[in-house]
A and B are shown apart, each in its own frame.
Chain A
Amino acid sequence: MNRIVDAIPYARFLGVEVERNDGALECVLPFRHEIVGNPALPAVHGGVLGAFLELTALLHLLDDSSSERVPKPITFSVDYLRPTGPLTTRARAEIFKLGRRIANVRVVAWQDDRSRPVVAGNGKFLLS
Chain B
Amino acid sequence: MPTHQSSTPPRRYALQSLFGPGQDGMVSHTPHAAHLGIRVVETGPGFGVCALPFREELIGDPRRRVIFGGAITTLIDHASGLAVACAVEELTAIATIDLRVDYLRAAQPDVELYARSDCYRLTRNVAFVRAVAYERTADDPFASALGTFMLGANRSDSPFERLVRAKEGGGE
Beta-carbon contact of A70 and B63 below 8 Å: yes
- Which of B63, B70, B102, B103 is close to A51, meaning CB atoms less than 8 Å apart? B70
Contact-residue bracket for chain B: 35 or more
Stretch at the interface among A9-17, A88-96, A98-106, A109-117: A9-17
Nearest chain A CB to B40 CB, angstrom units: 15
A38 to B97 CA separation, bound complex (whole angstroms): 15
> Could you say which residues of chain B place their CB within 8 Å of the CB of A54?
68-70, 73
CB distance from B151 to the nearest CB of A (A): 14
Whether the Cβ atoms of B154 and A83 lie closer than 8 Å is yes
Chain A residues, Cβ within 8 Å of B4: none
Partner among A12, A34, A72 whose Cβ is within 8 Å of the Cβ of B32: A34
B156 touches A38 (CB 8 A): yes
CB distance from B142 to the nearest CB of A (A): 12
15 contacts between A and B (CB under 8 A): A36-B31, A38-B30, A40-B156, A40-B157, A40-B159, A47-B74, A50-B70, A51-B73, A53-B70, A55-B68, A74-B102, A75-B100, A76-B100, A77-B98, A79-B98
